[in-house]
């Protein structure tokens, strides 16, 4: 076969492939359907459990069995994604109404994960069985082929309430994400009924019923006035606070008890909250905390913070709102698949899509039921008619040679070949006109049906069938009747499964935290060669001066209200607030400097850190490996950012020395090959921090600046160079940009 090569633009192929991939992720994996509020993986798990018969009134089955069956039949995307979806549908702290009843360790609100799927068991919840899956046998939704076309799966589940609102949804697709908060089932049901009564109702009108989100963790929504715009546009930010109670503690102390947390804090953020509260005490933001304990259990959240006797409780609680995640935001983006495409919807649009879906499902349901009742009616009428002429029917059956002959007589009145007892019977038999279904029912009828009571029951059943037909036709013909059926089902769901609201909706004042002004004082900054930093009192330093100077790489005095500047060999400046550095005893270990700054282990810190307030008063000398140098005014480094570029470097260059210009007379550059160049510091020009500077020394091909020394009156000038003592004062002074004098060793 001759090869056919198709030439096309690479960019076009990439564009088409990416769009196909993006749409696959958006439609088939990440976003929920507006009709049933489920992502494909969730829908497939629930349907598979239904098919396996793992109902709410039957024994639990291993999660691994459910996951494996779902993956093999419907969702070939890996077992972890299926199990994760199953786990979330069991967690009552994430879902407004859990859809799966889990047995075993399915994780907890504090962020502990579920046990492996081989250990846990699950079954459907009753509401899932009754409101999501009960009508699948009535042709209410379309079934589509699975991934390999060996099975059929529902394209959507016939959910009887707006699950998208009740349970919410979160998912990240390609270029878009959905984030819908959970709501109260009873309120949503009332809003749906209000919309069905008046389709012109506004979002504001619907919010008389749906007050706002109802998070399973409770909490307090504090921006009530902003909710209307959020529900009209489908996007916005909901501010949520935890619930705080004040209790009397032992010895006159006060306990701040957190009994409900903001929904975004679910999971590992609880432990982070505890660490944040502890760090407030460690960093001296507050000195009111005596103890913190997490007393949470299966009964609920209980985090106790014990305060000192004289603590300002209101100010402390406001500090928690401001400085921790006890007040957080839930970003709303009500994005779902509607009519086959992703769409951001308002509250009213979500309800409208669900109501339209309910009418479609109900129409198909009662069309199927009506067809079945009409079929029953046909058969019942045939049996009743047959009972009225039962002697003739028996005569036909006894006189026929086979079933087809008897059936032909019952349906078409053919009497040829049938033996009758009398001519009258033959004439009557020729007049019979049963339908095919009636004839089959007559031929299969058992003799006990001829008992009087059975015949009476058949007549009653026929009357009931006629009543059903009349009711179904009325539902299908009249919009109001169908609407009432949907409303009745909603009322039943509300009565059985609705719970009282957990989240309080209100307008709260902005938390105002008055930070206590730190009393300014001098401290001594210590940092050892391993990068551990701490501050101590000057008097403590004086008592341990020898040990402090010997054990630490950097030692200097600064203000506790100032900042520390860390210059690095890459030309960066990292600033650290002195208040963030632990203040304590001389033998305290301190904290790694990279934990409290953006410094992340550049090659090496090349200058003793200096107080930022001191830098404003001085000029800074920069010298690089390639002998570029300059003096920069320290005020240029008084910036708000935690990290800035301190100098500009050429390719392959790095900073080797930074020093504060403080009465130095001469600077001595020492190269790796042993050249020493001494010249007046005044020859170094003043430059901006983003300048490269000027060359200070002529270097050989592979030579570079290794060390920088300064001479200053009253300071020692003797150094050790390769086991030889060099007196810097005796070196001959030259001009900048010379080669220097080589020291012979």
Place of tokens 């992720």: 25
The average pLDDT across 141-148 equals 91
Place of tokens 């036909």: 396
The pLDDT of residue 718 is 84
* pLDDT above 70: residue 714: no
The pLDDT of residue 608 is 46
At 460, phi and psi to the nearest 5?
Answer: -65, -40
For 33-54, write each residue's pLDDT tens digit.
999 999 999 999 999 999 999 9
Long-range contacts of 270-277 (CB under 8 A, 24+ apart): 270/109, 270/110, 270/111, 270/294, 270/296, 270/301, 270/303, 271/110, 271/111, 272/325, 273/303, 273/324, 273/325, 273/326, 274/303, 276/323, 276/324, 276/325, 277/305, 277/320, 277/324
Q: Does this chain's domain 31-159 share its CATH topology with 362-496?
A: no
For 52-96, write each residue's pLDDT tens digit.
999 999 999 999 999 999 999 999 888 999 999 999 999 999 998
Q: What is the CATH number of domain 243-325?
A: 3.30.1360.40
CA distances from 406 to 189, 401, 430, 435, 574 (A): 57, 8, 12, 13, 101
* pLDDT above 70: residue 705: yes
Q: How far is CA 268 from the centre of its chain?
A: 12
The average pLDDT across 268-287 equals 82
The pLDDT of residue 341 is 86
* pLDDT above 70: residue 640: yes
Please indicate whether residue 239 or residue 660 has the higher confidence score (pLDDT): 239
The average pLDDT across 504-533 equals 81
The pLDDT of residue 352 is 95
Domain boundaries, the chain: 31-159, 243-325, 362-496, 522-742
Helix (H/G/I), strand (E/B), else coil: 397: helix
The Cα–Cα gap between 549 and 543 comes to: 12
Any idea which fold 31-159 has?
Topoisomerase II; domain 5 (3.90.199)
The average pLDDT across 158-166 equals 95
* pLDDT above 80: residue 638: no
Please indicate whether residue 688 or residue 1 has the higher confidence score (pLDDT): 688
Residues annotated as part of the active site: 119
309: number of Cβ within 10 Å = 11
Helix (H/G/I), strand (E/B), else coil: 697: strand
The pLDDT of residue 518 is 67
Q: What is the CATH number of domain 362-496?
A: 1.10.268.10
Name the average pLDDT for the chain.
86
Look at 122-126, 456-460, 690-694 and tell me which has the smallest mean pLDDT: 456-460
CATH architecture of the domain 522-742 equals 6 Propeller (2.120)
Rg (CA), the chain: 41
The pLDDT of residue 716 is 67
DSSP string covering 13-63: HHHHHHHHHHHHHIIIIIS-BTTT---HHHHHHHHHHHHHT--TTS--EEH
The pLDDT of residue 606 is 44
CA distances from 714 to 247, 571, 663, 678, 683 (A): 65, 31, 11, 18, 22
Please indicate whether residue 332 or residue 584 has the higher confidence score (pLDDT): 332
The pLDDT of residue 611 is 59
- Helix 479-497 vs helix 185-197: crossing angle, to nearest 10: 170
Whether this prediction's pTM lies above 0.85 is answered by no
* pLDDT band (50, 70, 90) for residue 100: very high
SS (H, E, C) 483-518: HHHHHHHHHHHHHHHCCCCCCEECECCCCCCCCCCC
The pLDDT of residue 418 is 80
Look at 15-19, 393-397, 409-413 and tell me which has the smallest mean pLDDT: 15-19
For 410-434, write each residue's pLDDT tens digit.
888 787 878 887 788 777 878 888 8
The average pLDDT across 632-653 equals 84
- Helix 423-430 vs helix 390-399: crossing angle, to nearest 10: 100
DSSP string covering 433-501: ---HHHHHHHHH--GGGGSHHHHHHHHHHHHHHHHHHHHHHHHHH-HHHHHHHHHHHHHHHHHHH----
Sign of the CA dihedral running 70, 74, 80, 84: negative
Q: What is the dihedral of CA 388, 394, 395, 396, to 10 degrees?
A: 100
The pLDDT of residue 29 is 67
* pLDDT band (50, 70, 90) for residue 488: very high
The Cα–Cα gap between 380 and 378 comes to: 6
C-beta of residue 242 within 8 angstroms of C-beta of residue 251:
no
Instruction: Print burial letters for 410-437: b (CB count within 10 Å at least 16), e (below 16).
Output: bbeebbeebebeeeebbebbeebebeee
The Cα–Cα gap between 562 and 585 comes to: 20
The average pLDDT across 308-326 equals 88
For 225-267, write each residue's pLDDT tens digit.
999 999 999 999 999 999 999 988 887 788 999 999 999 998 7
Place of tokens 């220097």: 740
């Amino acid at each position: 076969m001759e090869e056919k090569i198709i030439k096309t633009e690479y960019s076009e192929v990439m564009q088409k492939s990416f769009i196909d991939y993006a749409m696959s992720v958006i439609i088939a994996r990440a976003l929920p359907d507006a009709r049933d509020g489920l992502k494909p993986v969730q829908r497939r798990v629930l349907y598979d459990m239904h098919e396996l018969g793992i109902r709410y009134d039957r024994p639990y089955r291993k999660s691994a069995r459910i996951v494996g069956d779902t993956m093999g039949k419907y969702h070939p995307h890996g077992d972890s994604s299926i199990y994760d979806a199953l786990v979330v549908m069991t967690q009552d702290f994430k879902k407004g109404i859990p859809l799966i009843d889990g047995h075993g360790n399915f994780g907890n609100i504090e962020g502990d994960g579920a046990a492996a799927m081989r250990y846990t068991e699950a079954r459907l919840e009753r509401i899932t069985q009754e409101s999501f899956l009960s009508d699948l046998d009535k042709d209410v939704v379309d079934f589509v082929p699975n991934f390999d076309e060996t099975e059929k799966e529902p394209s959507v589940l016939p959910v009887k309430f707006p699950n998208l609102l009740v349970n919410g949804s979160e998912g990240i697709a390609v270029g878009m994400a959905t984030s819908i908060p959970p709501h109260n089932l009873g309120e949503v049901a009332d809003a749906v009924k209000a919309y069905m009564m008046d389709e012109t109702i506004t979002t504001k009108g619907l919010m008389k019923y749906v007050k706002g989100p109802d998070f399973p963790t409770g909490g307090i929504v504090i921006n009530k006035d902003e909710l209307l715009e959020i529900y009209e546009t489908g996007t916005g930010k909901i501010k949520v606070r935890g619930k705080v109670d004040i209790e009397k503690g032992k010895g006159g102390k006060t306990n701040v008890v957190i009994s409900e947390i903001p929904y975004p804090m679910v999971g590992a953020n609880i432990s982070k909250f505890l660490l944040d509260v502890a760090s407030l005490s460690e960093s001296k933001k507050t000195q009111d905390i005596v103890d913190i304990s997490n007393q949470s259990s299966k009964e609920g959240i209980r985090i106790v913070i014990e305060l000192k006797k004289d603590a300002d409780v209101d100010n402390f609680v406001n500090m928690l709102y401001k400085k921790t995640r006890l007040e957080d935001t839930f970003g709303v983006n009500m994005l779902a698949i509607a009519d086959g495409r992703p769409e951001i919807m308002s509250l009213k649009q979500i309800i409208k899509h669900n109501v339209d879906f309910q009418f479609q499902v109900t129409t198909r349901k009662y069309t199927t039921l009506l067809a079945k009742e009409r079929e029953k009616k046909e058969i019942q009428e045939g049996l009743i008619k047959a009972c009225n002429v039962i002697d003739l029917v028996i005569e036909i059956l006894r006189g026929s040679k086979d079933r087809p002959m008897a059936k032909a007589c019952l349906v078409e009145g053919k009497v040829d070949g049938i033996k009758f007892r009398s001519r009258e019977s033959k004439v009557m038999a020729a007049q019979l006109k049963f339908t095919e279904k009636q004839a089959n029912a007559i031929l299969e009828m058992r003799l006990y049906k001829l008992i009087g009571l059975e015949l009476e029951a058949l007549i009653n059943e026929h009357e009931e069938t006629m009543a059903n037909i009349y009711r179904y036709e009325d539902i299908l013909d009249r919009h109001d009747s169908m609407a009432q059926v949907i409303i009745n089902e909603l009322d039943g769901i509300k009565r059985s499964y609705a719970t009282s609201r957990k989240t309080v909706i209100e307008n709260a004042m902005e938390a105002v935290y008055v930070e206590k002004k730190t009393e300014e004082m001098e401290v001594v900054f210590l940092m050892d060669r391993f990068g551990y930093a701490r501050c101590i009192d000057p008097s403590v330093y004086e008592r341990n001066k020898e040990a402090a100077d010997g054990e630490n790489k950097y030692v200097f005095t600064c203000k506790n209200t100032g900042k520390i500047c860390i210059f690095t060999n890459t030309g960066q400046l990292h600033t650290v607030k002195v208040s963030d550095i632990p203040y304590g005893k001389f033998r305290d270990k301190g904290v790694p400097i990279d934990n409290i700054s953006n410094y992340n282990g550049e090659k090496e810190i090349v200058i003793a850190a200096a107080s930022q307030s001191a830098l404003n008063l001085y000029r800074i000398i920069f010298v690089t490996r390639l002998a570029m140098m300059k003096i920069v005014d320290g005020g240029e480094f008084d910036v708000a950012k935690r990290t800035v570029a301190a100098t500009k470097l050429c390719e392959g260059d790095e900073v080797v020395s930074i020093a504060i210009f403080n009465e130095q007379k001469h600077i001595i550059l020492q190269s790796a090959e042993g050249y020493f160049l001494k010249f007046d510091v005044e020859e170094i020009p003043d430059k901006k921090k983003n300048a490269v500077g000027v060359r200070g020394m002529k270097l050989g091909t592979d030579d570079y600046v290794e060390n920088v020394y300064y001479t200053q009156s009253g300071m020692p000038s003797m150094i050790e160079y390769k086991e030889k003592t060099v007196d810097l004062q005796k070196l001959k002074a030259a001009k900048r940009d010379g080669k220097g004098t080589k020291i012979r060793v």
